[in-house]
Amino acid sequence: MRLNSSKALLSCALLSGLLLSACSNSDKQQKDTTLTATTPATGEATTIAERNAQQRLIETLHKNFEAAGVHAKILEIKNTELSNLYWVKLDGLEPVYATADGKYIIQGQVIRLGDKELIEISESVKAEDNKALLSKLNTADLIVYPANGPAKHVVYIFTDVSCPYCHKLHQQIAHINSKGIEVRYIASPRADEFKAAMESVWCSKDRRAAFDKAIAGETLAAASCQNPVEAQTELGAQMGIKGTPAIYSSHGEYLGAYMSAEDLVKRLTP
């Protein structure tokens, strides 16, 4: 993600990727052996030597994971713009960076300095992965607030009715739609105790009306049905969601947490 100069002043943004504009997920949702990182890196293996190096790294990492009691299946390895640093995609866990010798992994962001903005080196590849995941969603399973007139942009927002920043963002929904932005909400309860409220929304005959009430603090009658809340929550975990709201463009780029309608337009404008 691109971090502007004001964000650079907040060290916590670099350490956790989460500003004070999102509701954090409960620790109870974290797996004991989860390896966490925010994003993968750019680069493709183009030579036999590189592919062989990646295969050796896979074998070494599997050995070291096993020795540490970490059950992690490696799905993909990609080299980055940094020599001897690879992005490692894991099955059911978030990606990590690994050194070429397989002795060290890095959990978190790797930021490139030197430009006007701080750039996470994995931005483009992570966005590509996110776009593929978001494109598989059935719009009928989401809560959609269409743009006024032709949609100039579509954003996906992981949300939770218990989250104050989600409430604050939703208060601007009409303003956001007036900017030509279609909003597609994805369920992402922060903890198990909030799951029932999200299911009540998704099981309502009029999801939008139910969401409007729930996000404003009204308690809905309990309801159960076949619903996508669990699957959408798992999608958020797969994409590395740490809190709500989490806003993504239709291209899979992470835009940020809570922001004003004007700031959202700026993030969407090249």
12 is catalytic: no
* CB 154, CB 125: distance < 8 Å: no
184 is catalytic: no
Residues 6+ apart with CB under 8 A from 27: none
* CB 252, CB 132: distance < 8 Å: yes
225 is catalytic: no
- Among 163, 184, 203, 267, the one annotated catalytic: 163
- Among 166, 184, 203, 267, the one annotated catalytic: 166
Residues 6+ apart with CB under 8 A from 9: none
Any bridge partners for residue 20, and if so which?
Answer: none
- Among 23, 129, 184, 190, the one annotated catalytic: 190
DSSP assignment, residue 250?
T
* Beta-sheet pairing, 254-256 with 181-187: unpaired
- Among 23, 160, 203, 267, the one annotated catalytic: 160
Any bridge partners for residue 144, and if so which?
Answer: 184
CA of 139: how far to CAs of 56, 165, 180, 228, 232, in Å?
42, 24, 18, 11, 12
Residues identified as active-site: 160, 163, 166, 190
